[in-house]
A and B are shown apart, each in its own frame.
Chain A
């Protein structure tokens, strides 16, 4: 049989709450330590115990580690999902199952491996009976390790990390795993092609989840206050603050330079964070969609009263409670216009775990510089799953605390200032903090109409002037937000715009499109709203731009339509919203469905078709194909003319 080396997907089906996450993380981490590019995605239910849950691992020597919509190897530990799990194995694949599950196995096109998990655990005198189920999970890791060739020493390293060096649980788990491996060596004959061989492609990389990275980044950003309320999938972000703040901000006198408060709800969580931000602290909250809905009124206050605060939204799929444990990019439009009345938010869009760290500290600089709430939109996939990453880097710029007046500053200007007085012409004004003892320092903050000196005002001119300044401030913000990342290709015939966690899927799709369909593309990953000049340039130079996102209504596309109405006919939506992490398959198929070869779109064609429909109806391939016959009218600039200022920062 031909071997397939370092290129396959594994799915483990277990019962929620059975303790399989240690086992699954162990597989992921040991493959990573073997130097092979790998990803792990937990596809779990909103439940504590009992419902089926899956963990998918993608191993790929070329670094394509997006979720795959197939499972070459399936490990079935849950009778409730057994039939489904069996059916999911790719033809020619491998099926491992706990042999106490007695259900019919009808497939003959795959390798079948029963595992006597209960017997092996029972026979191990070192495993107390109450640990049998937990440790039983390690047996399948052992069997799998033996059959595909996971290095047991790397497994030991993974367990040592997981149990923080505590020898007893390390030994108990490792011994069970070893028993599984030994049993497999004696009793199973390899009948499938999937094997692992060590590489060096993960050298120098770390493995972390985005919520931890966000918390760490926030700590390096000097976070001083966090108000939060538990919600999946954001909870672990605040918990990571509690874990790491005492370590990283330890002082000799044992005193604290920060406070983390678990609030009574999301309204209070943001309310507290805004109070702290107003009073001069680097302040944040973390939540997900439903929490953000509750925070809306406060977000509007922070916008209008110009109070810096950082709001992490680890997106899950809505509307309403939605699928609480599934990922999404569905909060983009909501966040962009959050609050009643006219408002625009500054939004940061990290694309991976590294950027969760980086934007963790940068968000404070931007919020305090621009004096506005800054939303950072992560998602469940990035936030809760372990990702390979470049090591985190120390902030490369000093903290930017923005325009602040303390006693000596007020002394110099003889107390002559106004909270909302635009002295510098950049629409950003000066602020003072409670505790400032200068008699002219104070002002009265309000969500009601106010003049340049923060006095209550219902004057029409004053209102308009203030709102125009706020609009101007959004333009000023462009110079402070992160520029997009361009993955350029001089020969590209199409452009792809993306944001957030979809990049791995896009790279893989890109490679398939080029290899199998001769479609060359380049990708611009947007990292912030408002859009910077690099986005303008990219849109100008492409005739056909696919906007890839994980939501139903093509939310990024809608914002692009609004910001670039003159180019609206260039955009095509590739939107997907099943709550699962992005896959190359849906990106590729989405692009192919709407791709317009040069010959298919003769310039002479005169018929006009609406393009907005294509944006919102991504489900139907028919609709998509229809829209692809539209005429390119506005795209007159040549690709050669525009030269991107964006540099690909990360290779």
Chain B
């Protein structure tokens, strides 16, 4: 199996529609041991939704802006496994003023929150898990992205935060390369997750993908993205780091509509 014996930490499972849920499910089906994290009010939801995975999992509390909680998660995993083969970063948040609103009017405090939770978190999670990954021989960190090379309708400061995430991925890849940790992102096409529901104007993305993706795109199917995440967590992409893999039906490569 693709992930036989891999020990994985998966953040960002909130509902069954979460991309991270599909990652956790596929990873278990492919032989991995999985621990989830949940946050704040969502923690009890994550704990309930976790019961729908093929195998029982533990859910650890993790507020990514709280360094002490990151340390606690690392200590728990160290005690449990002594090493960690993979981390899935599926973390992002922007206050409502920063998305689907008036880009130029968004106050700095709200932008700062978006960048702290959605961008800086990759570095803080990587730092917290680095020792455990090293002890597994390097391991892999995989984050979730939405193509940030262009401006989108409504996405606003979340787009800026994702552009920062793409850059942060390259820098974390640079600094963890020495210990053989691979760090990559998967740029997904639009999916109807809880995160997407917070974006006023999300349907405009759906329209773009319907016309632009040469392979087509199903906004309700997270599995094509989750499979790429699992591939990057596996031993089959050993020389790949600092990379952004687009799992988007090919929409990013087109300069115009194909249908």
- Does B bind A? no
- Chain A interface (Cβ < 8 Å from any Cβ of B): none
- Chain B interface (Cβ < 8 Å from any Cβ of A): none
